[in-house]
Amino acid sequence: MDKDLQSIQEARDLLVAASQAQEIYAGFSQEQVDEIVKEVSEEARKHVTELAKMACEETGFGNWEDKVIKNKLAAIDVYESFKNEKTVGILNEYKDEGIIEIGVPMGVIAALIPSTNPTSTAIYKVLISLKAGNGVVVSPHPNAKNSIIKTVEYLIEAAERKGAPKGLIGVIKTPTLQATNELMKHKLTSLILATGGEAMVRAAYSSGTPAIGVGPGNGPAFIEKTADIKKAVKRIVQSKTFDNGVICASEQSIVVEREVKDKVVEELKAQGAYFLNREERDKVGAILMRANNTMNPKIVGRTALYIASMAGITVPTNTKILVSEETEVSHFNPYSREKLCPVLGFYCEENWEKACERCIEILKNEGIGHTMSMHSNNVNVIREFALKKPVSRLLVNTPATLGGVGATTNLLPALTLGCGTVGGSSTSDNIGPKNLINIRTVAYGQKELEDLVKKPCVSELSDVVGNAVKEATNLGSNDVDVTNAKEIEDIIKQVLDKIYQK
C-alpha cells in the first residue's frame, strides 16, 4: 500500500480505537484515573536516560544530559503539579451561590510532537491528557519518530497494566504530513494540542477542529543596571546552552543599558561568549536562515563550535555562545529572529525606557505573546515591563529556558506554553490538565421573574436616588458630618433600601 494512504488509515484506526476506549475511560472514578496516571509517570521515570540518549542520537539536536532533565520535568514535575487535582466528576460546589462545577473530558486529544523536545513532550502530553480523562493519539515528527514511538509504547504498557482500556493511547508509527492532517481534521478528534513549527500550528488552527497551539518564541533578555551582572550573565549562558537552545522560551537576544554595557560584555566573554566581528557576523548570519527566510534546521540544537565551523570561521575552543552586536530589528536580520541554538543578538540602549521599546520591537518582529526575561533589582522597572510587554510570561532573575517551563519558577510545569491571542494562541497558560477538560455548570435558580420585574431601570432611578440620598444624609442640615466608615456604610444601605422600596 502507498505509504501516505497507509498512514492515513492508521490515523483513522487509532482514532476509532481511542474514541471507543475513551467512552469507557470517561466512566472511571477520580481514583481510578489517578492510579493509571501515577503508573504512567513512574514508568516514564524508569526510562528518562534511555529515551534522552535515543532522542539525541536520532535527531542530532542538543545533548542527552539536558534531555534527561527535560524528561524528568515531564515525568516527575508535571505529575507532581497535578496529582492531587480534581479533574473528574464534581470539581467545585458553591452552595450559597447555587453553583456546581463538573469536569467533563473532551474526548480524544491529537498530540503533535516536535523533533526538538520529542520524548519529554510525548510524556507530558500523554500524562495531562489521561489526567483530564481523555484518550490521546500521538503524531510524531518524522525526524524523531523512533524515540517518540518507543516513549509512547512504554506509557501504553504502563496504563494498560493499571486497567486503562486498550487503545486509549495511540501513536502513529508511519508518520506523514497526510496522517497528521487526517488526525487534525477527523470528526473523532476533540482537540489538537500542537507544539512545533509555525506552519504546523497554523494548520492546526485552520483545521476546523478546536486547537491549542504555540508558535515561535523570540524572547529578549533585558539586563537592567541594578542587576547582579555576573549572575544575570550566568543564567543567560546556562539557559541558552541548555540542550543547545532548542526550547522556544530560551533567550534569543540580550538588551542592555549603556551604563552597564562594558561590564556585561566583559562578563559574557569571561563566561564563554564570543563576539563576532562584522565579517564573522555575516558568515554566521548567512547560515541561520534558509533561502525562504525560515530557520535553517541544520543549526538547530547544535553547539556554538559546530555552527562556527559550519560558517567557516575560527573561534576559541571554549566558546559556548556566539554573540553579534546589532542595531537593527527586522524580519531579514537573523539575529533579531528566533534561533534555536547558542547564538544571540546584542543590543545596547541609552536607558531602561529605550530598552523597553527595543524589547517590544523584537517581540513584534517575531515571537509576540510568548516569553521574555529580565534581570533587575528595581521593582518599579520590573512592574513597568510587566505592564507593557506583549508576552504571556515575563521571567525575572531566572534562566528563561528553565523558568518558562516551570523548572526554576512556580509556573505550572509544562512543555506547551500558550502565547495568548496576541500570539495567535487560544490561551496564555502553561498548558495543564485543566485546559483539556470542559466544565459543565449546574446552576440553581435564585430569583423569580417577579423579583426581576420589581427592579427599576437605571433611567428611572435618577429622582429616586437623589431623594433617597437626601433623606438618608439629611442634606441641607448644617450639622451633618459624614466621616465615619460605619456611618457611610449605613447610609449606603438606607439609600439602597429606599431605592428598592420604590
Residue 248 annotated among the catalytic residues of the structure: yes
CA proximity to 380, closest of 344, 352, 354, 357: 352
Output b/e per residue, 147-186; b: 16+ Cβ within 10 A: bbbbbbebbbebbbebebbebbbbbbbbbbebbbbbbbbb
State mean pLDDT over 11-20.
Answer: 98
Predicted pLDDT of residue 196: 77
First to last CA, the chain: 80
How far apart, in whole angstroms, are the C-alpha atoms of residue 250 and residue 230?
19
Catalytic member of 56, 248, 356, 419: 248
* pLDDT tens-digit readout, 197-227: 778 888 898 999 999 988 789 999 999 999 9
* Domain layout of the chain by residue ranges: 3-215+433-442, 220-409, 451-501
pLDDT (tens digit, 9 = 90+) per residue, 409-442?
999 999 999 999 888 888 999 999 999 999 999 9
Residue 181 grid cell: 492532517
Q: What is the mean pLDDT of the chain?
A: 92
The secondary element (H helix, E strand) that includes residue 502 is none
Question: May I ask the CATH class of domain 3-215+433-442?
Answer: alpha beta
pLDDT of residue 462: 57
- DSSP for 416-483? -B--TGGGT-S--SBP-GGGGEEEEEEE-----HHHHHHSPPGGG-HHHHHHHHHHHHTTT-TT----
Confidence band for 470, pLDDT divided at 50, 70 and 90: low
Helical H runs in 289-345?
304-311
Top-level CATH class of 220-409? alpha beta
Q: What are the tens digits of pLDDT across the range 225-266? A: 999 999 999 999 999 999 999 999 999 999 999 999 999 999
Segment 289-324, tens digit of pLDDT: 999 999 999 999 999 999 999 999 999 999 999 999
- pLDDT on residue 423: 87
How large is the average pLDDT for residues 39-67? 97
DSSP states of 164-222 as a string?
PPTTSEEE-SS--HHHHHHHHH-TT--EEEEES-HHHHHHHHTSSS-EEEE-----EEE
Count the Cβ atoms, other than its own, within 10 Å of residue 283: 15
State the average pLDDT over residues 479-500: 66
Q: CB under 8 Å to 439, separation ≥6 — which residues?
A: 91, 101, 102, 103, 104
Which pTM value belongs to this model?
0.89
Nearest to 28 by CA among 181, 174, 145, 133: 133
